[in-house]
């Protein structure tokens, strides 16, 4: 029996709204669980599931993977995260009827469709073209799945046949292909251009299979000017040097994911003895939110950061923190030069070696700075009591989004929990009482789940399996290797010492698995440039201590800031 093709007419589905802007889609979503499917103009016409969840409008891009036409098989698959379906309606039915989260990071569940009003004029295949004057041409009569040379008389026309404003700025090879539509190039094109333009049944027109597109550097993420909208979809991104929208390449021409871009190793490369310690801090560069010279805790910057964090769901913030933590730890984005200098392939291995001293100091600095920044977010709320309680709830929700099984960023979880457990924060009895009264669920999660989990992780007994965890808890091993003494009685500290060293050995051995788990969670993630910058170690240091104070010794800086937090805490809730 013939399997239902991707041509299953989802344009007739009541939840499909065709080409619809993000703003109009969000206006239609009124309650949690409301959803619709639209063709996103900014994403090259890809279908996007828009859903309201926990008071926020989230958007999930659906990847369309073109296949070579074969009897009994669909011509394309529709993918959301790691699961593929033969048609878009079957994907929607599976998630709606099963009440499954559209993404593990957000937990958003689509339950009530927003019914479309009126017919849709354009089909999906026409909407998948790039936004250009060619999109508004009158539909041309053509065969739906013509893949023979006889049907190329009108299919191979390029945009040069229809001159219009801006046509010369988009090359022929930048036009995405859909389904099994063939394409006849009017002029010889470069190899990279040809590989980006091949789709589905193009193999019938080319005697040799095309080569893969050139690899791109690690962590080559799109950086837009201003504040781009926050997408929450988790689908594979396909880098392309020719600007082809992600998700249009078939399996035969897909480029490797960005986290594998630096996995090429030279054959028979001899081992070189490490000559210098490696730093994973980015080079000194100006920050968008900070001037070249700034004072500590500038009110304008703090206000901007508060608005920035309020714009993002805790799941999105957790993925931003995971991305920055993976770079700071040397799990993702390690260059070939860095691997050659440190003698290993990952920072998780380097921090257990003698020449990993600099990396260990950087990780300790990052942990302390993030914990202080989290405590400042609470203690800096001089307004109503409910405002401080809401800030506590936000930190608890962020910790839940970072825990194993969610984002799996244990260094980020340790920093957030360090802020919540800091004495200046934990002494705020009225604030915690208000949290239990107004946000009971978050308070229970903190006491019954997060605190025991953090205690077990610090003792080397918590979960640390790659997959459930994307980035392991490195702080206990780093402190131990830097000579810090373990607290507690001698017999307990010896057992804890052995567990910590064993966990560090497992962590170094499983570094490739952790890299794969982290990359799987970040697949298709589009970070906000400003939020990503605000979570880097250099930015947090400049924010807390200013451009001049950041050069002081770490012990001095930490001691002074602890006194600042103590003053703020006493001002909020004075001792009786």
Classify strands 63-66 and 56-61 as parallel, antiparallel or unpaired: unpaired
Distances in Å between the Cα of 189 and the Cα atoms of 185, 197, 246, 378 are 8, 10, 21, 58
Superfamily of domain 314-572: Ras guanine-nucleotide exchange factors catalytic domain (1.10.840.10)
pLDDT of residue 284: 67
Phi-psi region of 344 (alpha: psi -120 to 50; beta: other; left: phi over 0): beta
Question: Model's pTM, two decimal places?
Answer: 0.58
Instruction: Tell me how far apart the terminal alpha carbons of the chain are, to the nearest angstrom.
Output: 79
pLDDT of residue 283: 64
List the one residue out of 11, 24, 14 whose CA is nearest residue 112: 14
pLDDT of residue 398: 96
- Inform me whether the pLDDT recorded for 3 exceeds 70: no
Give the separation between CA 570 and CA 576, rounded to whole angstroms: 10
State the CB neighbour count (10 A cutoff) for residue 507: 23
Q: What's the mean pLDDT when you consider all of the chain?
A: 75
Give yes or no on whether 1-134+174-182+191-263 and 314-572 have one common fold: no
pLDDT of residue 274: 66
Superfamily of domain 1-134+174-182+191-263: SH2 domain (3.30.505.10)
pLDDT of residue 302: 92
Band of residue 489 on the pLDDT scale cut at 50, 70, 90: low
- Inform me whether the pLDDT recorded for 319 exceeds 80: yes
352-391 confidence digits (pLDDT tens): 998 899 999 999 999 999 999 999 999 999 889 999 999 9
Distances in Å between the Cα of 83 and the Cα atoms of 63, 94, 319 are 10, 11, 20
Give the separation between CA 562 and CA 570, rounded to whole angstroms: 12
pLDDT of residue 104: 80
pLDDT of residue 40: 77
Band of residue 511 on the pLDDT scale cut at 50, 70, 90: very high
* CB half-sphere exposure, 128, CA atoms < 13 A: 23
Comparison of pLDDT for 482 and 236, the residue scoring more: 482
Paired tokens of 111: 């339950």
pLDDT of residue 187: 38
- Inform me whether the pLDDT recorded for 46 exceeds 90: no
Mean pLDDT of 455-476: 91
Paired tokens of 273: 């003895």
State the CB neighbour count (10 A cutoff) for residue 329: 27
252-292 confidence digits (pLDDT tens): 333 444 444 444 444 444 556 665 678 887 766 788 888 88
SS3 for 60? strand
List the one residue out of 462, 467, 464 whose CA is nearest residue 513: 467
Starting at the edge strand found earlier in the chain, the sheet holding 76-80 runs 63-66, 76-80, 83-85
pLDDT of residue 230: 42
pLDDT of residue 491: 64
Domain ranges (residues) in the chain: 1-134+174-182+191-263, 314-572
pLDDT of residue 206: 41
Mean pLDDT of 562-566: 94
Q: Which residues of 192-204 are buried (b: 16+ CB within 10 A; e: fewer)?
A: bbbbbbbbbbbbe
């Amino acid at each position: 029996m013939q399997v239902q093709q991707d041509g299953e007419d989802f344009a007739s589905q009541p939840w499909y709204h065709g080409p619809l802007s993000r703003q109009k889609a969000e206006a239609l979503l009124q309650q949690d669980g409301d959803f619709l499917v639209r063709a996103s103009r900014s994403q090259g016409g890809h279908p996007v599931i828009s859903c309201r969840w926990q008071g926020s409008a989230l958007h999930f891009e659906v990847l369309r993977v073109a296949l070579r036409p074969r009897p009994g098989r669909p011509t394309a698959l529709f993918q959301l995260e790691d699961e593929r379906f033969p048609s878009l309606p079957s994907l929607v039915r599976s998630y709606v009827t099963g009440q499954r989260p559209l993404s593990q990071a957000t937990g958003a569940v689509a339950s009530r469709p927003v019914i479309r009003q009126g017919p849709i004029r354009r089909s999906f295949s026409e909407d998948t073209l790039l936004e250009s004057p060619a999109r508004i041409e009158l539909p041309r009569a053509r065969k739906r799945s013509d893949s023979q040379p006889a049907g190329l008389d009108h299919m191979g026309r390029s945009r040069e046949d229809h001159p219009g404003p801006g046509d010369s700025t988009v090359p022929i090879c930048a036009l995405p292909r859909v389904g099994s539509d063939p394409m006849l190039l009017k002029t010889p094109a470069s190899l990279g251009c040809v590989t980006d333009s091949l789709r589905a049944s193009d193999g019938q027109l080319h005697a040799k299979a095309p080569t893969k597109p050139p690899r791109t550097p690690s962590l080559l993420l799109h950086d837009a000017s201003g504040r781009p909208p926050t997408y929450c979809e988790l689908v594979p991104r396909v880098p392309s040097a020719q600007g082809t929208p992600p998700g249009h390449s078939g399996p035969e021409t897909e480029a490797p994911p960005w986290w594998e871009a630096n996995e090429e190793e030279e054959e028979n490369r001899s081992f070189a003895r490490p000559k210098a310690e490696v730093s994973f801090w980015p080079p000194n560069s100006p920050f968008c939110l900070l001037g070249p010279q700034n004072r500590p805790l500038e009110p304008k910057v703090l206000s901007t950061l508060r608005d920035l964090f309020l714009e993002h769901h805790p799941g999105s913030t957790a993925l931003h923190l995971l991305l920055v933590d993976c770079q700071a730890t040397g799990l993702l984005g390690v260059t070939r030069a860095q691997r050659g200098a440190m003698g290993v392939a990952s920072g998780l291995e380097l921090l257990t070696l003698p020449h990993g001293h600099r990396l260990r100091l950087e990780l300790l600095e990052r942990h302390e700075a993030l914990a202080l920044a989290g405590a400042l977010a609470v203690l800096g709320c001089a307004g109503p009591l409910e405002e401080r309680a809401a800030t506590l709830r936000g930190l608890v929700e962020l910790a839940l989004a970072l825990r194993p099984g969610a984002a799996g960023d244990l260094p980020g979880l340790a920093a957030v929990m360090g802020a919540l457990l800091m004495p200046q924060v934990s002494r705020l009895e009225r604030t915690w009482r208000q949290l239990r009264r107004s946000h009971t669920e978050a308070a229970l999660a903190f006491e019954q789940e997060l605190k025991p989990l953090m205690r077990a992780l610090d003792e080397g007994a918590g979960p640390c399996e790659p997959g459930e965890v994307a980035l392991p808890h490195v702080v206990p091993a780093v402190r131990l290797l830097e000579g810090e003494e373990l607290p507690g009685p001698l017999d307990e500290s010896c057992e804890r010492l052995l567990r910590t060293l064993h966990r560090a050995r497992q962590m170094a051995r499983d570094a490739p698995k952790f890299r794969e788990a982290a990359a799987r969670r970040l697949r298709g993630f589009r970070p906000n440039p400003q939020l990503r910058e605000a979570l880097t170690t250099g930015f947090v240091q400049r924010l807390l201590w200013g451009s001049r104070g950041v050069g002081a010794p770490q012990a001095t800086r930490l001691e002074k800031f602890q006194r600042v937090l103590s003053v703020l805490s006493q001002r909020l809730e004075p001792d009786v």
